[in-house]
Amino acid sequence: MESSPEKAALAGDTIAREFAGILSAGTVFRRAEPLAKHTTLRVGGPVDYYIEPADEMDLAKVLDFCRRRGISFFILGRGSNLLVRDLGFRGAAVCLAQPVFAKIAAAGDQLVCGAGARLKAVALEAKRAELGGLEFLEGIPGSVGGALRMNAGAMGAATFDAIDRVRVMDFCGHVAVLTPSEMAVSYRQCGTLKESVALEAVFRGSRADRAEIEARMISFSKKRWASQPSAPSAGCIFKNPASVPAGRLVEELGLKGLRCGGARVSDEHGNFVVNDGGATAADILELIGMVKEKARQARGIELEIEVEIIGE
Ligand SMILES: Cc1cc2nc3c(=O)[nH]c(=O)nc-3n(C[C@H](O)[C@H](O)[C@H](O)COP(=O)(O)OP(=O)(O)OC[C@H]3O[C@@H](n4cnc5c(N)ncnc54)[C@H](O)[C@@H]3O)c2cc1C
């Protein structure tokens, strides 16, 4: 049977009605939500279904429904490591943005944090509770869930260095608590979270003086803002190759300032591509391709992309 926009719209209406039938009133459900609103790069077309579950029960229902109906989905954090293509995403974006997923509570030397909590809020609560070792999270503009999935790191530390355990939900809705040794964790990724959703993480800190923590946070912040652009970006575009940091490589190749439409290689940091306003995902992807090509030709280095590219 031939597919047409009308048929696709009818199928979309049916799925939206079925979603509405299983989810509680507290769950946010929107259709054709522009993902540019949810990514720090400010690009990306619409997602068919945008869902903020009211609680874990609704999250389990969403995952189960998507699995049974063959609906593609992804978990959306704060969109700070995502490059969504211009035609958007066919399926669902599931975002743990409701306050119930963003709770942070100190318990002894540990901090129990919902996956939707902002990393900055985690760092600030650690300071309040006089727990040192989490200062590096302060300037990473993501959520706990995104930081776990990406094993995000800064200032010589990475998320899983400070994790005691993670509560996860698999795509069938089953919940388990895992320690880092039970999870597939490596540089800038956690494979286990490709097949499950992080619900909550328990961070470990060490007792420290609040003033010391504050001083470390200020020094990290100064270091970051001395080298990082303020224009919209997704942080580092490429993983660091073994031989040279990607930012230095881009600088050595003379590519800082290189432009494609509204996208530009940052003058402040060679590993950042910024949206100067009006960039499309296609502009950014073309620019990334140009940098990769030059690195391959001039230095024989195959740059690996750190940001996640999704959509069509
Ligand atoms: C200005 C700037 C500076 C940055 N600096 C750093 C830095 O210093 N170090 C660093 O490592 N990164 C940095 N980043 C990149 C980014 O902030 C991190 O990768 C961050 O951890 C992503 O979190 P997020 O919530 O935005 O995730 P998103 O970008 O929304 O998603 C990233 C991935 O995580 C998955 N995900 C999100 N939530 C969950 C969940 N609950 N369960 C399972 N999977 C989930 C998504 O499906 C996706 O695969 C920077 C980005 C910007 C824009």
Could you tell me the CATH number of the domain that includes residue 28?
A: 3.30.43.10
154 C-beta closer than 6 A to ligand 1: yes
Domain at 202, CATH number: 3.30.465.10
- Listed residue (94, 96, 132, 95) closest to 113, CA to CA: 96
Q: How many Å lie between the centroid of ligand 1 and the Cα of residue 139?
A: 12
| Residue 40: predicted pLDDT | 98
Half-sphere exposure of 232 (CA within 13 A, CB side): 21
Residue 94, domain extent: 5-99
| Together in a domain, 280 and 172 | no
Nearest atom within ligand 1 for CA of residue 153: 11
| Together in a domain, 240 and 301 | yes
Boundary of a domain, candidates 99, 123, 140: 99
| Residue 15: predicted pLDDT | 94
Q: How many Å lie between the centroid of ligand 1 and the Cα of residue 147?
A: 5
Q: How many Å lie between the centroid of ligand 1 and the Cα of residue 18?
A: 31
| Together in a domain, 111 and 192 | yes
- Listed residue (148, 40, 39) closest to 89, CA to CA: 39
Q: Which residues of the chain have pLDDT under 50?
A: 1
Atom 43, ligand 1: residue with shortest CA distance: 197
| Together in a domain, 35 and 76 | yes
List CB contacts of 226: < 8 A, sequence separation 6 or more. Answer: none
Give me the sheet containing 46-52, strands edge to edge: 28-34, 46-52, 89-95, 73-76
| Together in a domain, 27 and 65 | yes
**Burial zone of 161 (CB within 10 Å; 0-12 exposed, 13-18 middle, 19+ buried):** middle
| Together in a domain, 24 and 81 | yes
- pTM for this structure? 0.96
Nearest atom within ligand 1 for CA of residue 147: 21
The domain total for the chain is 3
Atom 37, ligand 1: residue with shortest CA distance: 146
| Residue 3: predicted pLDDT | 62
Q: How many Å lie between the centroid of ligand 1 and the Cα of residue 14?
A: 32
| Residue 1: predicted pLDDT | 47
Boundary of a domain, candidates 166, 200, 225: 225
| Together in a domain, 173 and 267 | no
What pLDDT digit, counting tens, does each position of 21-48 carry?
Answer: 999 999 999 999 999 999 999 999 999 9
| Residue 5: predicted pLDDT | 77
246 C-beta closer than 6 A to ligand 1: no
